[in-house]
């Protein structure tokens, strides 16, 4: 064959991301003290993906999101003015968690303890016997959290004064994300799982193809072929703490009859939405710290790996769709696409947990990444440089 040799044809021990080739320490994948540093260095100060604007379609709608690694519950509202805002879900009287529901529609929120009532703009609207306090209502609004959106995706930053805007954080990837179907999405399918594994170990599983043929012998059949048995990507990209890969297109995927039929049923709708030949159809985005989004319009899924503690995480996968189901064929195609993605994701769980048991035993001082696991290596470097910077900052402020 005369095609140029993409990287995957000759995996060498070269160093595509200039990250070195050394083994990586195992401790960060299980140690409690390292996780404690990640909470401060990353989850309390990075932009974190928490939802999508389609969850707040009209004024008065709200959602509540828990970010365990920051110990925070976040209330996200769309106000009467149409503006989306985020607040700590904490009553400013004496700290009671304000909203117990996970979402809904209401224009005010009343604390169950002493009935302080807040508007969807966060202002304290009323408090019984307010005149007995030594403060004014205008100073008792809910505590604001920075929130911004890109491609309809909502991101919050728990830093009281974020060091960077969301746009600056995403850099050139922001414009690419805006070109994806998710930017026009109005609804989604969602499935979730919990896993006894560190968030980085879990996340890494979804950014290397080395395991595909072993863990997904059936569901992953179309991912590899004789010219690329591992289904390695054709290209990797590194963008600050974020990374991308370009998924290899198998020229002759093994497709089963109903599988092909279901895929074909979805295509006309993808084409009608204008995404049949979109530029990022083969791009898999990995946004720091814990978010994935795949450009593929037929199975346009995001995956958040949310840390709960050093060795426990929660996964949330969404397939974003434009418009409600129009007819039965589209409904069938969407259900099949979701069930396909779910099948693949569910096959990884057991082996990731086995990895955690091995690492948590402390037997290994280091783990190894080959050149086609370079995204995992880059991820570790991104996390560790945030942790080291935080440690240096803390040491600096202790000295002064």
Three-state secondary structure call for residue 155: strand
Q: What is the DSSP letter of 326?
A: -
Q: State CA 334 to chain mean position distance.
A: 21
The least CB distance from residue 195 to other proteins, in Å, is: 8
Nearer to other proteins, 18 or 218 (CB): 218
Of 326 and 357, which CB lies nearer to other proteins in the complex structure?
A: 326
Instruction: Kindly state whether residue 331 participates in binding other proteins, applying the rule CB under 8 A.
Output: yes
Site for other proteins in 186-215 (CB under 8 A): 187-195
Nearer to ligand FES, 94 or 368 (CB): 94
**Cα diameter, the chain:** 84
Cα 128 to Cα 117: distance, rounded to the nearest angstrom: 9
Q: How far is the CB of 14 from Fe ion (least distance, A)?
A: 25
Q: How far apart are the first and last CA of the chain?
A: 64
Give CA–CA dist 394/162, Å, rounded: 17
Q: What is the secondary structure of 176-199 as a DSSP string?
A: HHHTSGGGG--EEEEEEEEESS-H
**Distance (Å, whole) CA 325 – CA 314:** 28
**Residues 88-127 as x/- pattern, contact with ligand FES by CB under 6 A:** ---x-xx-x--------------x-xx-x-----------
178 contacts other proteins (rule: CB under 8 A): no
Among candidate residues 167, 179, 190, 154, the one with its CA nearest the CA of residue 65:
154
Question: Smallest gap, in angstroms, from Cβ of residue 301 to Fe ion?
Answer: 13
Of 260 and 274, nearer to other proteins (C-beta) is 260
Shortest separation between residue 135's beta carbon and ligand FES, angstroms:
13
Nearer CB in complex with ligand FES: 133/214: 133
- List the one residue from 34, 116, 321, 369 that touches other proteins (CB under 8 A): 321
Residue 372 beta carbon to Fe ion: minimum distance, rounded to whole angstroms: 14
CB-wise, 209 or 311, nearer to Fe ion?
209
Which among ligand FES, Fe ion, other proteins, none contacts residue 44 (Cβ within 5 to 8 A by kind)?
Answer: none
Q: Residue 397 is encoded by which pair of tokens?
A: 């402020």
Minimum CB–partner distance for residue 189 and other proteins (Å): 5
Out of 12, 218, 252, 399, the only residue in the binding site for other proteins (CB under 8 A) is 218
Exactly one of 7, 107, 213, 329 binds other proteins (CB under 8 A); that residue is: 329
Question: Over 46-104, what HEC string results?
Answer: CEEEEEEHHHCCCCCEEEEEEEHHHCEEEEEEECCCCCEEEEECECCCCCCECCCCCEE
Q: Please choose which of Fe ion, other proteins, ligand FES, none residue 335 contacts, taking the beta carbon within 5 to 8 angstroms, the exact cut-off set by kind.
A: other proteins
CA pair distance 272, 10, nearest whole angstrom: 39
């Amino acid at each position: 064959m005369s095609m140029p040799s993409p990287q995957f044809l000759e995996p060498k021990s070269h160093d595509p991301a200039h990250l070195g080739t050394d083994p990586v320490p195992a401790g960060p994948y299980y140690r409690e003290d390292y996780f404690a540093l990640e909470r401060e260095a990353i989850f309390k100060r990075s932009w974190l993906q928490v939802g999508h604007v389609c969850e707040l379609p009209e004024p008065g709608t709200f959602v509540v999101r828990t970010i365990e690694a920051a110990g925070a519950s976040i209330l996200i509202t769309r106000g009467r003015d149409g503006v989306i805002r985020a607040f700590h879900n904490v009553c400013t009287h004496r700290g009671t968690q304000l909203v117990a529901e996970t979402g809904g529609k209401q224009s005010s929120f009343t604390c169950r303890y002493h009935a302080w009532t807040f508007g969807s703009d966060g202002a304290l609207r009323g408090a019984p016997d307010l005149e007995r306090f030594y403060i004014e209502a205008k100073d008792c609004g809910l505590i604001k959290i920075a929130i911004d959106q890109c491609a309809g995706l909502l991101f919050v930053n728990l830093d009281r004064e974020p060091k960077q805007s969301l746009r600056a954080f995403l850099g050139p990837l922001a414009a690419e994300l805006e070109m994806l179907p998710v930017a026009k999405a109005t609804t989604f399918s969602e499935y979730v799982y919990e896993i006894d594994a560190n968030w980085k170990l879990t996340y890494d599983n979804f950014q290397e193809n080395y395991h595909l043929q072993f863990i997904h012998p059936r569901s992953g059949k179309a991912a590899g072929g004789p010219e690329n048995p591992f289904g390695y990507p054709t290209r990797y990209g590194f963008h600050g703490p974020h990374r991308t890969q370009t998924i290899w297109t198998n020229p002759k995927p093994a497709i089963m009859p109903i599988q092909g039929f279901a895929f074909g049923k979805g295509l006309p709708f993808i084409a009608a939405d204008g995404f049949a030949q979109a530029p990022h159809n083969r791009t898999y985005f990995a946004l720091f710290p814990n978010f994935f989004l795949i450009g593929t319009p037929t199975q346009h899924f995001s995956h958040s790996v949310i840390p709960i503690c050093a060795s426990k995480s929660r996964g949330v996968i969404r397939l974003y769709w434009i418009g409600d189901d129009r007819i039965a064929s589209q409904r069938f195609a969407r259900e099949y696409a979701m069930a396909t993605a779910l099948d693949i994701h569910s096959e990884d769980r057991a082996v990731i947990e086995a990895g955690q048991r091995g690492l948590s035993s402390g037997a290994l001082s280091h783990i190894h990444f080959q050149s086609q696991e370079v995204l995992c290596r880059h991820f570790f470097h991104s996390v560790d440089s945030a942790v080291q910077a935080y440690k240096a900052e803390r040491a600096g402020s202790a000295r002064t």
